[in-house]
Structure 1
């Protein structure tokens, strides 16, 4: 059973990684081949879908889709040099689930966003389901 803090640190590091090859390798090590990243959509998206009688789920499945998801987040938030992601000190593991929070921090040190991850692991301690909740 790996250290859950080390797992959370590796997870957060992927989103800050500037090198595409290193990101690809890290994704392959962290997620199972058919692993999923399920994102709680922003409130305005949920409202718009609700107004149309639809539901919303943002999901990336498999390494190729996960690479795209991480790359797009990196390009939007980290690459311009305005933000970086870091782990908060609330990592916990219960059997096959690791829970922790993270922050998106501006270069001036201000917290610009917060989220919580629930990572469901397989028997090899790779992520099979990654539930992400954006909290602000």
Structure 2
């Protein structure tokens, strides 16, 4: 049985990975080879597509940290959770993060992510 909280934590941590080689390795570990990742800013497939999107997100949100926010709700092969992104000082101050999202993931039989359906709840004008 998949530990969806641990999977969601590893998923969010992949956004924080600064090293492109390490990020690509995380993607290969977490996602199926034919993964499809869709959100308002991306519709990509495969490890290269996801790794490229994560890299672009890091560039766009330079200096931000990504964190899981709240509980992970899961059943069968699906989970949903919220995440936040902000500079570390925003988290330290307990202030509202400027980026908040809500993702739904679908896993394969081995507990790897096969689909991501992402939604952005709060996004600043960048």
Name the TM tier (shorter chain). Answer: 0.7 to 0.9
Q: Which digits, 9 at most, give the CA deviation of each residue in 1:22-78, with x for residues without a partner? A: 11111011110000110135xxxxxxxxxxxxxxxx31101111111011111221x
TM-score (norm. length: structure 1): 0.81
SS at match of 2:89: coil
Q: Deviation at 1:108?
A: 2.5
SS at match of 1:88: strand
* CA distance in structure 2 between the aligned counterparts of 1:124 and 1:59, rounded to whole angstroms: 23
Structure 1: 4+ residue segments shifted above 6 A:
none
Q: Which has the larger radius of gyration?
A: 1
* CA distance in structure 2 between the aligned counterparts of 1:84 and 1:104, rounded to whole angstroms: 5
Q: Deviation at 1:19?
A: 1.1
SS at match of 2:70: coil
Say whether 1:97 aligns with 2:83.
Answer: no
Say whether 1:71 aligns with 2:55.
Answer: yes
SS at match of 1:2: coil
CA RMSD of aligned residues (A): 1.2
Partner of 2:19: 19
Between structures 1 and 2, the one with greater strand share: 2
Aligned residues: 117
TM-score (norm. length: structure 2): 0.87
Partner of 2:110: 124
* CA distance in structure 2 between the aligned counterparts of 1:65 and 1:106, rounded to whole angstroms: 25
Q: Which digits, 9 at most, give the CA deviation of each residue in 1:76-120, with x for residues without a partner? A: 21xx32x11100122011100011000012232131111001001
Alignment of 1:75-90 (within 5 A): 75-77=59-61, 80-81=62-63, 83-90=64-71
Alignment of 1:29-68 (within 5 A): 29-41=29-41, 58-68=42-52
